[in-house]
Amino acid sequence: MESTRLERMHKSSKEDANLDEVFVILTIGAGMIATLGLQANSAAVVIGAMVVAPWILPLRASAFAVLIGDLRLLMDALRTLFVGVVITILLSALLAAITPIHEMGSEVWKRTEPNLLDLGIALVAGGIAIYAKLRRDAVSSLAGTAIAVALVPPVCVMGLLLSNQKWDAAIGAGLLFATNLLGILSGGLVMMAWREPLVRQRLRESHLSAANFALTFGLTALLLIPLTNSFLNLVSKKQNERTRDEIQHTIESFLKRKTLTFGGEGVDLEKLDIAWNKNPPEIRLLVLVTNPELPSLKQVSAVQKEINKRQGLDYQLIVQRIVVIQGPQEKANLITGKEGGLIKAPTPESSLTPNSETEQQLQKQNLEEAEQQEKLHNRNHQTINQTQENNPPLSISN
């Protein structure tokens, strides 16, 4: 009975490791969807590619091959996966070359800095993938597993970055792919060895199985070095962001308080950065002011003292002032339409209809022309009278 179950699992794993038309078509489709989704910076599209990708199948076959010591099955599974990776890299690089989009979005960059969290997710996902293989009633979890730990998107990111000659970032995406790959494989090995006594027995009896098992976990352990460094950087970054938010909240409260002001009214906080590479760290503020004398040195010193007291660490506060001049206050525009478009509010002068306004302009123009003609007529008449007075008519005498 147990041998029959093992043979059935072996046959199923051979089907998973097979490089056939279905695997190639799904790989091409998933690669195109993921690449276009990354270029569009759409998380939903990238998730769709994760569901389509068939790469979890040869990985499950690899886990089974390692445990039973079937080297041929292992090579077939790894060959199938290798072909999928090559196709995806070439496809994504080609799409990057023919698409005039060279700026990478957040969906690309967040796949270039893997850490220990990614490895933990991959380990759990690998175990769930094998559990779904062993328990048919848990097969619905495969889609969620594919979404949780993605293999295709990091490879697409590699192709995009290599096409744009961003070598360091491409290495980071490759590290994420290796993390997911080895994490899934290691998690699958543990789950299968735990759930299947016959497989566990073969692992104890076969030196090749034990060697492959140890090699897999050895490679996974090597990833701990760069992943731990990235994780510590992430923790430090989050701590710095939290400190920055606390300092910004403190300064913003000073802008509203009257007991300890930061320049009073007319001072707005535009930007806040912290230079952590300085000792003491420098808090660099950019403020917009209407009074060039504010904030004063006394006010800046008071705020710096309060920040250092609250944070338990000494900071150097540097304030850059930009004087702004605001024009007279205008009344709000009208909001019209479903899209919330703005139009200028009507004034008493503009309340007339276009026709009546045109008629008034014409009447005014005609009146001005009539006045000018009358003035010209009066001026000509006056000139004639003066000429007659200065030159009386000559008398003719005999």
What's 70's DSSP letter?
A: -
pLDDT given for residue 139 in this prediction:
56
Residue 192 has pLDDT above 60, yes or no: yes
pLDDT given for residue 398 in this prediction:
37
Q: Is the dihedral of CA 198, 204, 206, 211 positive or negative?
A: positive
Residue 255 contacts residue 269 (beta carbons within 8 Å): yes
At residue 380 the predicted structure's pLDDT band, cuts being 50, 70 and 90, is low
For the chain, the average pLDDT equals 80
Peptide bond into 295 cis (omega under 30): yes
Strand order through the sheet with 282-289: 267-275, 282-289, 316-323
pLDDT given for residue 132 in this prediction:
80
- The CA–CA distances, whole Å, from 43 to 46, 106, 141, 149, 340 equal 5, 9, 20, 14, 28
Q: State the Cα–Cα distance between residues 272 and 276, nearest whole angstrom.
A: 13
pLDDT given for residue 293 in this prediction:
81
**30 vs 210, residue with greater confidence:** 30
pLDDT digits (tens, 9 = 90+) for 262-315: 555 667 788 888 898 889 999 998 888 888 888 888 888 888 888 888 887 899
pLDDT digits (tens, 9 = 90+) for 166-180: 999 999 999 999 999
DSSP states along 308-333: HHHHSS--EEEEEEEE-------PPP
Indicate whether this model's pTM tops 0.75: no
What is the arithmetic mean of pLDDT over 193-215?
Answer: 80
Cβ atoms < 10 Å from Cβ of 106: 10
**144 vs 9, residue with greater confidence:** 9
Residue type, 55: W
pLDDT digits (tens, 9 = 90+) for 344-367: 766 655 444 555 555 566 566 667
**387 vs 271, residue with greater confidence:** 271
What are residue 224's DSSP bridge partners? none
At residue 70 the predicted structure's pLDDT band, cuts being 50, 70 and 90, is confident
pLDDT given for residue 47 in this prediction:
85
> How many Cα atoms are found within 13 Å in the side-chain-facing hemisphere of 349?
0
